[in-house]
Every structure is written in C-alpha cells, then in structure tokens.
Structure 1
Amino acid sequence: PSWNPNDTEPLYTLLSSALLFDAVHAVVAAVQELNRSQNVGATQLSCKSSKIWEHGTSLMNYLRMVELEGLTGHIEFNSKGQRSNYALRIMQNSRDGLRQIGQWHSEQGLSMERKLPSINVTDTLFNTTLTITTILENPYVMLRPNHQEMEGNERYEGFCVDMLKELADVLKFKYRINLVGDGVYGVSGTNGTWTGMVGELISRKADLAVAGLTITAEREKVIDFSKPFMTLGISIMYRVHLGRRPGYFSFLDPFSPGVWLFMLLAYLAVSCVLFLVARLTPYEWYNPHPCLKGRCNLLINQYSLGNSFWFPVGGFMQQGSTIAPRALSTRCVSGVWWAFTLIIISSYTANLAAFLTVQRMEVPIESVDDLADQTAIEYGTMHGGSTMTFFQNSRYQTYQRMWNFMHSKQPSVFVKSTEEGIARVVNSNYAYLLESTMNEYYRQRNCNLTQIGGLLDTKGYGIGMPAGSVYRDEFDLAILKLQEDNRLEILKRKWWDGGKCPKEEDHRAKGLGMENIGGIFVVLVCGLLVAIFMAVLEFISPGLSLSLPSLSLCVLQLSVCEEMLRELQGIVLCRDSLQLRRRRGTTMLRPRSLPLEERRARAAAVSLSNGKLCGAAAGLPLSEPLSHRLAQEAALVARGCSHIRICPECRRFQGLRAMRPGGGPSHGASPTHSEESIEWEKTTNSSEPE
C-alpha cells in the first residue's frame, strides 16, 4: 500500500492491516468454493474431545487452490500451505517520500534498480530529529552536576552522549534524549509484551535506544540492532580480601610456626647430643699444653655445656666458630647439622623475597565454578537485564545451577541498579554479576572491588532500533567509521580512565618499608639490650671486698658505682684500660686510678701477659713497653716464681732470644735484663721437658 512518511500511523500497522485483509479474503474465497460442492455447517466441538470438524480437510485443500490479487500482491499457496510466487518491493525513505530501489521475488530473488546512497551524501537522516530513549547508567549516560540549570540534551553527559554527538556529526541528524519511563533495559513478559527501552522501541515511542544495551537473540527477534560499538562479557565483581598487612615480624612468614618450633627442638637435641658424644669419646679430651709432657696430667674437653650450645648456633648462622671437632663422632654430628642448616637456610632465603615483596590477596572464590559450588557467598544480577536473561536461558549445567540459586533465594539477590549491586558487594558477603566494562569502570573508582576469574561469555553493546528501521545500515556504516578513526576508543579512555586506584597489571618492584623488615631491627635492639644487661651482671657479680693474700699491697676498696664511673671515665678519656682483675669475686686493682706516689711504690707488683701476678721481684713500671715486661716475665720464670706458668707452646717469648748482650732491642735494655734473658735462654734450651 502507498504510505506517506509524514503520516502518524506507522508503516508496519498499515502492512499488518493489508496482510490481515488478504488473509480473510483468501479464507472467504476458499469457503465459497467449498460451499458450492457441499453443504457447510457449523458443529460444536470440544478441545477435550478427539472429534474434528468434518469439513476441515476439504477447506484446507480449497485454501491451497486459492489464487487472487490482494492488497499485498499476488496470493498463491504451494502444497505445504506456504505463500509462493510473490514479490516484495524494496523502498527507500527520503524527503520526497518512499521510492522503490529494488525488488525481491520468491522465485527470482533480489534485483536492485539503483545503488544505495553513500553515507556522506545520504539524505535519509539529513536534518531529521530522532527520539532517543536511554537509561541513567555510569559512565554511559549521566546527569551533569548542574543539570537543574540546563535544558534538553545539555543535561546529560557520558560515553553514549558523546557517541551520539559523533554520529550526529557524521549522519547530519538531530536528536532529543528522553529517559525510559520504567528505568529498565527491557525484558519480555509472560504475555509477550516487553518493558523498558525495548518496549518503547516496539511501540514506536522512540527511534533509537542508545545505552549499554546488550545484543541478545531474544531482543533481536523484536527489534533491530546496529553493529556492536563495544565488546564485553559477563564478569564477577567481589570485594577485595587482602591478607593481613605485613607486620614487624613478617620475616618469619616463610616458615610456619610448626617449622620454627621443630627447628628449635632440633637445635636443642643436636646441642645435647653433641655434649654427650664429646664427653663419651676419648678423642675430645686433650692436654692444652703438650710441651709440658710428664709434668702436667691436665686434660680438658672443649665441648663444655656452653660451647655445645654455641657451636650449633655458629653453624646455623653460616659463620662457624673457633671450636673444631676432633673425634669422628663429633664430626659426624657436626656434618649432619651443617647439612640440615644448608637446606633450611636455602629454603628460607628462597621464600623470603616473595613473602616480603608480594602482598598476596586472599580470595575465597577464584572462578565461577567456585562461586557455584558454595552457598556462603550470595550472588545475583540486575533485575530485567541481559545478564539475568543469560542465566535464565542458559543450558550449561553450572549456569543453570546458579540460576536456580538466584531465582529461589529469599530475600531476593537481584538488584534494581548497578549502584545498588556495588553497595551490596561492599557492605555484605555478596558477589555481583555484571558486564566487564561496568566492572572495570567501578573498580577504577573503588579500590575495595576486584574481578574474580575471567569472562563468562562474549557479547556486545549495540544501538537499538525498531524492527525494519530504515536507519540501520546508515548507523552500521557510521559506527564502523568511528571505530576505524579510533574515536570510540578515545571516548572509552576518556570516561573509563582517571580513577584513583592503580592499575592491577602494574607489578613493578617496590622498595621494602619498615613494615616489612622492621622486626629484624627489633631483634637487633633486644639483643644489644640483653648483651648490656649480661655485661652489667658479669661486672658486678664478683665480690669486691676480698683481698689478694699473696700480694703485699694495699687493696683499694671501691663500690660498684665508683668502679663503673672510673671505667666509663677511662673509656671517654681514652686511657689505658690495664687492670688487675681476679675472677669469681676477687679485688680489682687499677694502677691508673691510684696517685702517682702509690703507683711508684707498688711498681713491684708486675702484671704479666698471662694475667697472673707476681710480687717477688722488682719489676719495671707498668708504663714500660710490652717487650720489657715480657723480658721481666722470662726472668721471673727462670728464678722459679711459683705464681707463673707460661706454656711456650704459643712461642710468645721466642723473640726474647734477640735480647742477648750486644743484640738488644732498638729502644735499649739494661744489663740486668740481658743477663735475665740469657738465663731464660739457658732454661728453655735445657734438656728437661718444658
């Protein structure tokens, strides 16, 4: 039928009326032919009865034989009851009205009379005002902060608004943006009606639906879509579950508490076994002065209880110690302990970097299967959206199980908007299923959100149009042009980037802070404090009231505070710290702390290099060089001083041989010293055991 584009009645209404008229005309013609051959009468039938109308088969046969010219052209049916031998005219809407540009015949196919106009010279949309239906959804369509002061299209901003401006510049059309009345995208009801933007397109209340409208097969049956201007998929949004923040003692994390406990037990066990084995084997008992054979039966064992506990510590810290095992049994224990520490230290070092630099995220779910296999975390979608339809119509077992959970869950897990879903994710144990583009946008602006797993499907956003819209091809070409010019990618970066959260793919190395390794400083400070405390205890432990009975000296009685004060004064003034100290409660004699007269009077008290005292001979002043003091010690040994026992094993006095007459040291030596040195030489060269 002829149709004026300025008519208010849509074209599809006129076409439906024409098809209905031709259908009734065909039925009437068939009934008339049937009535000529037999008397047709009405019979009351029931749907529950198997009885059929006796003239039904005959009427179907006469319908197949009907041939007539109707409003929609030639009417003819084949043996299967399908219309055949008909033609469709291809019309183009322009400013001058509908123009036929081609024809499609059921038998001959398509034949075009003229080519479609170029997109740049099209006049279909030129200066045409289109009604746009949309929905408020960040960042596609949003109200400006001062939208109350504006009117019309200026009240809106967003990705889709900018894309509309680009399309309008290409196709030369005007538009008017209206928000959808019910605030939903569009779902089908039980009676076949549609809601939301899809419903407004079906009812011709709008010419275009420009929003984050997903292209689905169910929607494609009732409306047309342009080519997708954005590709996406369904994703899972969940809140970030970070592990505990690294503490001062995070350097202990590479091993579990159980491993640390077993390491401590292993250290105690090895120390005790080493002490026991060293006591049992005879090869760990030795003479500390092997040059005094025949005169000394003293045997010592280097593995005392303290050394047995110190030796494993040196091996564990990879530093060793001055204690060296002599027996095969103790070497076996040491070798096994060293092998154990090698593996432990290597394993600890390998894991330490990862535990200190990587803040791992603890997520109870890692994929959609994990989400479907549990019930502790609720999950849902937007009510009336394409994501809800996807799960509702899916035949995949996992998605069916998820739909059954969402559909039967009370209270409802469906939300009315994306903002409501995100608020539910942040404030409760809830996972929200939404498009990946929306997920990316909100994750950039809320650092407490994250995406779980990958995409559940792949789909696209398109511009919705009424079925049979004449604007579809032009919008397809315009969208392709914008994509080739990267205009859509520029718009996406404009509205998606700029969030306050860093990008998740940014894995550049960062320096460790005090929150990562501060605990080792705590350990260091505690160790220093313990060492100072132990030194104070060792300092004040000997009794200060005992005298030295073997010395004819005036013992100086000092309090602990005075002793510590004098020691500190000597340290600050860099004085000689030479002192005479007897362990286990003996009196301390500090020559530098006495007056000059007393020091000269007590010069007979000689301090020997081995820490012993002997006052039987007149010695050198304490301020004399060490070589003179060693010579004095040699003379005392030659005279048989009972308070001195020097083992020549160390060969500390071999240099005294050079102090014979005529070969003294450069600083000079007295004749007495030379004679004493000669006597010491004779003593050491005697045939008797040293």
Structure 2
Amino acid sequence: MSCCVIVICLSVCVGACVCLQLSSALLFDAVHAVVAAVQELNRSQSVGATQLSCKSSKIWEHGTSLMNYLRMVELDGLTGHIEFNSKGQRSNYALQIMQNSRDGLRQIGQWHSEQGLSMERKLPSLNVTDTLFNTTLIITTILENPYVMLRTNHQELEGNERYEGFCVDMLKELADILKFKFRIRLVGDGVYGVSGTNGTWTGMVGELMTRKADLAVAGLTITAEREKVIDFSKPFMTLGISIMYRVHLGRRPGYFSFLDPFSPGVWLFMLLAYLAVSCVLFLVARLTPYEWYNPHPCLKGRCSLLINQYSLGNSFWFPVGGFMQQGSTIAPRALSTRCVSGVWWAFTLIIISSYTANLAAFLTVQRMDVPIESVDDLADQTAIEYGTMHGGSTMTFFQNSRYQTYQRMWNFMYSKQPSVFVKSTEEGIARVLNSNYAYLLESTMNEYYRQRNCNLTQIGGLLDTKGYGIGMPLGSVYRDEFDLAILKLQEDNRLEILKRKWWDGGKCPKEEDHRAKGLGMENIGGIFVVLVCGLLVAIFMAVLEFVWMLRQMPGTELSVCEEMLRELQGIVLCRDSLQLRRRRGASMLRARPLTLDERRARAAAASLSNGKLCAGTGLPEPLSHRLPQEATLVARGCSHIRICPECRRFQGLHMRPPGPGTSPAHSEESIERMGSSSTGPPASCGP
C-alpha cells in the first residue's frame, strides 16, 4: 500500500496534508475490510476470544478461516474498489493520475492493476513561464564517451562542472532557450534501462518511471518498448547498429612492394613464358628460309653470304624489348616470326596494363585482411564471437527481432558461455582489441572510437535506423517545449556543430588522406635497388668483356690492370679512345707482326653483335680475298651465316700458307680448291 501512496502523492504534486488524508482513507478501508470478513466468519461459526502467548506455539483456531474470508471480501471503499487475490494482495483496482493546474486538479490518466497505465496524450499547451521558468530539473544520465564524461580534474569541482560532453553542452543550449536550471546525477545501477519480469524497469528508464528524475539526457535510444512506459522528445541524433572489429592489416608496403600486383606464381609463369618465346623464336627463325637474307643487297652481281638476325643472343633480347614497351631494331621478316612476335606483344600488352592498373593501389593503400565483410558473414560463422551491451537497446533489438539472421545471432549470443554481453562500451572495445570478438553498437559510438583508435574498423553498413531522444516521465508537461527547443537547435545547426566538436579531432587519418598521401621510399625503394644492382652487373660484365678481349689479343707490354687504367683515364680526361686503341694496336704489332692477310682481314671487315659483316672504310676487298674469309666463318660453325646456293662452290676454297720462298704478294693469289673445308685467315664469328 505504501508504494501506491507514494505514487499518488508524487502524481498529484500536493503537500503532506494530502498524503495524510490518503493514509487515513486507506486505514479506513482496511478496517472496513476486516470487519466485513469477521462478520462473514461469525455467520458460519461462533467466534470467540482466546488468550494466546507469543512464546507458545498455539495459534488462534479461527485465524486460517479469517484469512480465507479476507480474500473473499469485495466492497467499494474510500480508495476505490477493494478486492484481494489468492496471495492476499489487493487486485482489480485503479489509481487516477491528476494534474495540478490553474483550474485545480484535473485527471490526465489512470493506472489499473490489470490493464496498466493509460494516459491522455492531448495535453493543453503551456508556455515556458508556466512550466520551466526558473525550475530546477533533475537529470539522470550515464557516463558514456563522448556524451557525458568526467573532467580530468573532476575531484576539484562540484555539481555540473564535473561533467563535460555532447549531452552536457546540449543541456546548456536547451537551458538557455527554455530558461531552466538542471542538476546532473548519474544513474545508480549504471545501465540505460531494460524491463524486468514483473513490469519493472532498471536504469534511467526505471528512475523516470519512479519519478526520481525529471529528464534522462544521454545516448538513450528511442524504442517502442520504452515508449510505452516513458515519453521521448524528438530525436536529436539519428544512427543505426553497426559492427566494430579490429583491423587486420596485411603486409605493409616494403622496398619490393612493386612486385605485389602479381603473385609469385604469376611472376614465375611470366619468366617461363619469356624463355619459351625466346626458344621458339630462335627455332622458327632457323627453320624458315625467309629469315636468311643478304646483308648487302646493293652489291649486285657479287656473291655474298646469307645471314640470320636471330642469333641466340638476339632471340633472347627481342622479347625483352617488346616486354618493356621499347621495341628493338630487329624486325621479323618471315610470317612465322611475325606470328610469334605478335602473340608476344599481345601478351605483354595485357600483362603491362594489368600491372599498371593495380600498382597504384598496392603502393598507396595498406590492404586489410578482414575475415568478415557483412552481418551475414558474421552470423554464418562461429569462430568470431560477437555481443552487445547488456541492458541496452541493441540487445533489445536482437531479442525482439523477427528477421531470421538476427534471430540466429540472438540465439548465439544468448546461449554463448562465457557471456558475450558486456557492461560498458569501454569493456566491449577492450574485448575487441584483445580477443577474436566483434562488438555490436550504435554507429555514432563506432565512429567516435574509430577516430581515436586506428586498430578499429567498421564492418558492413547499418543494421537498422533509429534515434537518440531525451527521456521524461510519461505524460510530462515538458515534452512539447523540449520538442520545439530541439527543432530550433537543429535549424540553427547547433547540434551538428556540437557533434563535430566532440567527434572530430581523432588521430586516425580519413580515407581521402590515404589517397592524397605521396609515395615514399618505403613504397618504391625496391626499384632503386634493382636499378643499382643492374648498373653494377653491367659494369661487371663490361670489365669481363674488356678482360676477355685482352686475353684474345696477342701479348702486350702492359698488364690488364694497366690497360684498364689507361682506358679509364681516357674516359675521365675526355680523350679520343681511338688514340688509345691505336697505341694499344701499335704495341701489339711490336710484339708480333701481323701477316698481310690478317691486316687485310681486320681492315676490310668488322663483325657486329647481330652477326652482320660490315665492309671496311677502304675500297671493297677483291673477291679472291673475301671468299676464303667467308668460307672460314662457315667452317668455324657460325650458325647465323651461310653461303648462298650460287656460291656454294667456294666452300672448298683454301688459302695455301706462304712458304719460305714465297712473297706476300704471291701468297695472296695462292688459292686452290679443296674437297673438304680447312683453316683460313683468322676471322671472328659474331655473337
């Protein structure tokens, strides 16, 4: 009965005298009910007084019967209809909720023990002066970043100055508009509010129902279940349920990250394709007769050799030029070699285009390896645990949802042991960072904590759409005024300014910052390493070629190091290297005089890297001297040189070595036919 008395006294907002009158009325009805029960008992049996002792175990023999008759009492008393249930509790009664206005008390609602609370929604509009002017409101709230937070020096402060946050600033804005005062008080049990089995509520919702507070200002979600027991203002912020998970960053860009657009397997197959194309090109160029041609077509009427530009070295160099999009001076002549070249160029076109398209993303963005991408992925697996805040609106959303996916998620969360529900958002975030756990929370909270912890990310989109509102007792006279004030703050863009104030300022960069960030050495430093290594290899090969050339020449007066030093001095001092070559050639001639054939061979012909024979700067060498040299090249196995069919008879030419009494001029004309090939004047085979 005492609870009913408190509710009525608070609802009608009258003084202590009214509460005393109500207590007297309840006492009168109680005595009246006992008298009615005793009268009914006396009709059925004779009731007499019996002396009893508290120390004795003996009881009044009519006590049980009297209790039964009390449960059967039904009458109308001063406090309304009187009736009791089987447990002896009063039932089937109603309480009228009155409002004290200028015209006196007026009924604005009714609470029935069976039907619950019913309020008249249409209340007369009241101006600020009548309701909120110079009124001090009790604000219940909960500590939640960034809505309500304790200041760093809150121990040194008192009252409202101890708190800061979005909701605190919004309260100050509303107080300036509606001209009221407020006193902030933290909720006792530290929860937002969840319904119990007997119709009671916990948290801020429970304090509003019991009228321990006038307003609940926090991140309190507007739900249908809460709307039945308390009133909400218009939403001051819209949001939805989102999934928070920790970031799984892939390998950070390194020195050789330019290789990342293709997998190692693709690079391996590209190398094998290059080797295969080079070998096929070399084979096809040897088989087709159209790749053998005369290098000197202008010398008509003279016999010459047929050469093939696809030597082994050129066959491996030609695909490299096509792959690097630089081309080559080697042009295919036959249809078969053109087919091989065209297929290789088409292959390199696709490969280079794909590599270029993916290179920017791999160099500028750190890829995230996230095992889940949506709420369906989260619901279809059990390796990653997930949960919500206990007693919050997100928990109620999954509990009451009829969507199959959300029902399956609720069954998982409800049956999971140990519990996946947390007591606060900070506990949920710590669990996300330290274990394989996904936390379901409002998107605004998700955004706030992601701005301040770069190891957190949001998975997928929003699961629903809802809003935060200011909670107040059911039928509150302040509702309309707060609705108008919130609309005014939204129109003046004050709420958006407050949100930016408390949400922005995180240390984590935004996505557009990633796109605008320039590349550093940690991204493309590997290509510089490749360049330096290539230059070192080229220098090393040049040294080997220089040494090999000196080894092939007759003995000189200078060592290899001295020759190389002289060459380097000529390069640094910008001297003509021909002078050095002449000097080197003179020293060689002094070491061993060259024969006439050797001098003519060196002056008349030079071998290029592609196997072509170029004429000297002087007059064309007589045919009688050139043919033995060409025959010697054929005999030495130069695969890219052959004699045309008209000149095959010269393959047996052999130069007779000069005898002791033979002059050089006579040896020049000493040519004879041989049935088999033999040696001739020194000639080199091009590579």
TM normalised by structure 1 equals 0.69
Segment drifting more, 446-455 vs 470-479 = 470-479
Conservation of the 8 A alpha-carbon contact between 2:311 and 2:640: no
Note closer, same or farther for the CA distance 1:299–1:312 as it changes in structure 2 (3 Å cut).
same
Q: For 1:431, what is the secondary structure of its paired residue?
A: strand
Residue 535 of structure 1: how far off its partner (Å): 0.6
Cα pair distance change 1:19/1:163, threshold 3 Å: farther
Contact 2:191 2:392 in 1 (8 A): yes
1:519-560 per-position Cα deviation (integer Å, ceiling 9, x unaligned) = 2222211111110000111111xxxxxxxxxxx999741111
Deviation at 1:234, TM superposition (A): 0.8
Tell me, in whole angstroms, the C-alpha distance in 2 between the residues paired with 1:678 and 1:346.
61
CA deviation after TM superposition for structure 1 residue 561, in Å: 1.4
Give 1:322 shift.
2.3
Following TM superposition, by how much is the alpha carbon of 1:281 offset from its aligned partner in structure 2, in angstroms?
A: 2.6
Per mean C-alpha deviation after superposition, the further-off stretch among 328-337 and 34-43 is 34-43
Give the structure with the higher percent helix: 2
- Structure 1 pair 556/268, CA: closer, same or farther in 2 (3 Å)? closer
Native 8 Å contact 1:133 1:210 kept in 2: yes
Contact in 2 for aligned 1:631/1:677 (Cα 8 Å): no
Residues 309-355 of structure 1 deviation map (CA, whole Å, 9 limit, x = unaligned):
11221222222222233333323322322232233223333333333
Residues 74, 380 of structure 1: CA spacing in aligned structure 2 closer, same or farther, 3 A cutoff? closer
* Structure 1 residues 597 and 687: alpha-carbon distance in aligned structure 2, compared to 1, 3 A threshold: closer
Query: What is the TM-score of this pair, normalised by structure 2?
Result: 0.69
Moved more, 434-443 or 468-477: 468-477
Match of 2:19 in 1: none
Contact 1:609 1:630 in 2 (8 A): no
Question: How far does residue 373 in structure 1 lie from its aligned partner after superposition?
Answer: 0.6
Partners of 1:490 and 1:618 lie apart in 2 by: 86
- Give the direction of change, closer, same or farther, for the CA distance of 1:334–1:635 in structure 2 (3 Å limit): closer
Q: Answer yes or no: is the 8 Å Cα contact 2:121–2:475 preserved in 1.
A: no
| Structure 1 stretch displaced more, 90-99 or 493-502 | 90-99
Q: Greater relative contact order (Cα 8 A, min sep 6): structure 1 or 2?
A: 2
Structure 2 distance, partners of 1:17, 1:503, is: 68
1:581 Cα deviation after fit: 6.2
Q: Provide the identity percentage.
A: 93
When residues 67 and 676 of structure 1 are mapped into structure 2, their CA distance, relative to the original with a 3 A threshold, is: same
- Count, aligned residues: 656
Q: CA deviation at 1:173?
A: 2.3
Deviates more, 1:313-322 or 1:137-146: 313-322
| Counterpart in the other structure of 1:367 | 374
User: Residues 442 and 147 (structure 1 numbering): CA distance in 2 closer, same or farther, change over 3 Å?
Assistant: same
SS at match of 1:433: strand
Q: Deviation at 1:137? A: 0.8
8 Å contact from structure 1 (residues 126, 173) kept in 2: yes
Aligned to 1:163: 170
Once the 2 structures are TM-superposed, how far is the Cα of residue 98 of structure 1 from its aligned partner? 4.1
Measure the CA separation in 2 of the matches of 1:354 and 1:330.
37
Distance verdict in 2 for CA 1:597–1:50, change over 3 Å: farther
Quote the residue 1:595 is aligned against: 595
Task: Give deviations 1:126-146, integer Å, cap 9, x for gaps.
Answer: 222222211111111111111
Query: Aligned pair in 2 of structure 1 residues 32, 225: CA closer, same or farther (>3 Å)?
Result: farther
Selected match of 2:680 from 665, 669, 687: 687
Q: Deviations over 1:573-612 (max 9, x none)?
A: 2112115869999975799999999999999999999999
Task: Write out per-residue CA displacement over residues 278-337 of structure 1, whole angstroms, 9 at most, x where no aligned residue.
Answer: 222333334444567787564432222111111221222222222233333323322322
d(CA) in 2 for partners of 1:48, 1:505: 85
Is the counterpart of residue 660 in structure 1 residue 656 in structure 2? Answer: yes
Change (3 A) 1:583 1:612: farther
Do the aligned partners of 2:304 and 2:643 also contact (CA within 8 Å) in 1? no
User: How big is the shift at 1:26?
Assistant: 14
The alpha carbon displacement at 1:421 in A equals: 0.7
- Which stretch of structure 1 is more off in the superposition, 408-417 or 677-686? 677-686
Are residues 1:376 and 2:383 paired? yes
Q: Which runs of 4+ in 1 moved over 6 A?
A: 15-91, 99-119, 291-295, 552-555, 580-587, 589-614, 616-621, 624-656, 665-689
Query: Given that residues 445 and 501 in structure 1 are in contact (C-alpha distance below 8 angstroms), is that contact kept between their aligned partners in structure 2?
Result: yes
Question: Is contact 1:631–1:673 with CA below 8 Å preserved after alignment?
Answer: no
Partner of 2:144, secondary structure, is coil
* CA distance in 1: counterparts of 2:609 and 2:426, whole angstroms: 86
User: Deviation digits for residues 79-100 of structure 1, max 9, x if unmatched?
Assistant: 9999999999996545896468
| Structure 1 range deviating more: 409-418 or 637-646 | 637-646
In 2, the alpha carbon distance for the partners of 1:507 and 1:47 equals: 84
Deviations 1:349-386 (A, max 9, x none): 33333333444333211111111011111111111111
- Asked if the contact 2:314–2:610 (Cα under 8 Å) also holds between the matched residues in 1, the reply is no
Aligned mates of 1:233, 1:617 — CA distance in 2: 86
Paired with 1:61 and 1:583, the residues of 2 have a C-alpha distance of: 138
Q: Distance in 1 between matches of 2:200 and 2:116?
A: 34
What is the CA–CA distance in structure 1 between the aligned matches of 2:557 and 2:36, rounded to whole Å?
A: 143
Which of residues 430, 433, 457 is equivalent to 2:437?
430
Change (3 A) 1:670 1:645: farther
- Long gaps (5+) in structure 2: 1-21, 683-687
Q: Mean alpha-carbon deviation: is it higher for 298-307 or for 629-638? A: 629-638
Distance, in Å, in 2 between the alignment partners of 1:618 and 1:111 is 117
CA offsets 1:127-184 (integer angstroms, 9 cap, x no match): 2222221111111111111111111111111111122222222222222221111111
Deviations 1:453-484 (A, max 9, x none): 11111112122222333332332233223223
Measure, in 2, the Cα distance between the counterparts of 1:270 and 1:74: 102
Q: 1:83 to 1:198 in 2, by over 3 A?
A: closer
Distance change >3 Å, CA 98–CA 682, structure 1 → 2: same
Answer with 287-296 or 337-346: which moved more: 287-296
CA contact (8 A) 2:141 2:184 kept: yes
**Does the 8 Å CA contact 1:606/1:619 hold for their aligned counterparts?**
no
**Residues 291 and 333 of structure 2 are in contact (CA less than 8 Å); yes or no, is this contact kept in structure 1?**
yes
Specify the SS of the correspondent of 2:672.
helix
Counterpart CA distance in 2 for 1:49 and 1:327 is 128
Using the TM superposition, give the Cα deviation of residue 41 of structure 1 relative to its aligned residue in structure 2, in angstroms: 22
Q: For residues 502 and 482 of structure 2, what CA distance do their matches in structure 1 show?
A: 22
Change (3 A) 1:645 1:291: farther
3-state secondary structure, aligned to 1:653: helix
- Structure 2 CA distance, aligned partners of 1:213 and 1:312? 69
Query: Could you tell which deviates more after superposition, 676-685 or 381-390?
Result: 676-685
